[in-house]
């Protein structure tokens, strides 16, 4: 998404188009390496020295909430442990952050596809399915 598209997208979701939002979005788009809020802050501050780190955090979360960008590590707030050390696959509820194991031969058989750089030694992989669990689903339909 380019700058103009971003501006349109902000308007569509009802966000005011501010200099800060554009600057933060632009810096994020310049990256291919999935930066942290602090990374973005340090860069944006070059052009805009009075911006606050809290603004960067808030803006990134706001943009993610409206699906203009995304958070790669949305389960990052608390460390979660697993009794087994073997790589396997998970179902994650995006509402309550419940994590459920998936046992699937089909997923174990994926292997390493084309499109994966060769200069990277891959140790294992895991598939994460994001969705809404039964109890969160029924909790939300009760509201209607």
Partner DNA sequence: TTATAATTAATAATGATTATTAAAAAAGAA
Partner DNA sequence: TTCTTTTTTAATAATCATTATTAATTATAA
Give contact residues for DNA (rule: CB under 7 A).
15-21, 36-38, 48, 50-55, 57-59, 61-62, 76-79
Residue 21 binds which entry of a second copy, DNA, none, CB below 5-8 Å type-dependent: DNA
> Among residues 16, 46, 50, 105, which is the contact residue for a second copy, using CB under 8 A?
105
Cα–Cα separations (whole angstroms), residue 109 to 124, 126, 134: 12, 11, 28
Which of the listed partners (DNA, a second copy, none) does 125 bind, with a CB threshold of 5 to 8 Å by partner kind? Answer: a second copy
Least distance from C-beta 40 to a second copy, angstroms?
7
- For residues 34, 35, 36, 38, the Cα torsion angle rounded to the nearest 10 degrees is -170
Candidates 33, 49, 142, 143; binder of a second copy (CB under 8 A) is: 33
For residue 70, state whether it binds a second copy (rule: CB under 8 A): yes
How far lies 15's CA from each of 26, 40, 63, 82, in Å?
A: 16, 20, 9, 40
Q: How far is CA 94 from the centre of its chain?
A: 11
Residue 5 near which of a second copy, DNA, none (CB within 5-8 Å, type-dependent): none
What three-state secondary structure class fits 53? helix
Give the DSSP H/E element, type plus range, for residue 57.
Answer: helix 53-65
Min dist CB 95 to DNA, Å, is 15
Least separation in angstroms between residue 85's CB and DNA is 18
110 lines the binding site for a second copy (CB under 8 A): yes
CB neighbours of 1 closer than 8 A, spacing ≥ 6? 9, 29, 68
Q: Does 76 bind a second copy (CB under 8 A)?
A: yes
């Amino acid at each position: 998404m380019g700058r103009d598209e971003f501006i349109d997208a902000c308007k569509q979701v009802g966000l005011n188009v501010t200099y800060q939002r554009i600057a933060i979005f632009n810096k994020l788009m310049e990256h291919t390496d999935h930066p942290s809020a602090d990374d973005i802050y340090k860069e944006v501050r070059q052009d805009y020295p009075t911006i606050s780190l809290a603004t960067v955090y808030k803006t990134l979360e706001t943009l993610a909430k409206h699906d203009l960008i995304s958070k790669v590590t949305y389960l990052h707030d608390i460390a979660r442990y697993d009794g087994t050390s073997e790589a396997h696959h998970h179902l994650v509820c995006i509402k309550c952050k419940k994590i459920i194991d998936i046992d699937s031969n089909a997923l174990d058989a994926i292997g390493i596809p084309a499109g994966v750089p060769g200069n990277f030694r891959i140790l294992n992989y895991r598939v994460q399915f994001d969705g809404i669990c039964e109890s969160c689903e029924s909790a939300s339909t009760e509201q209607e």
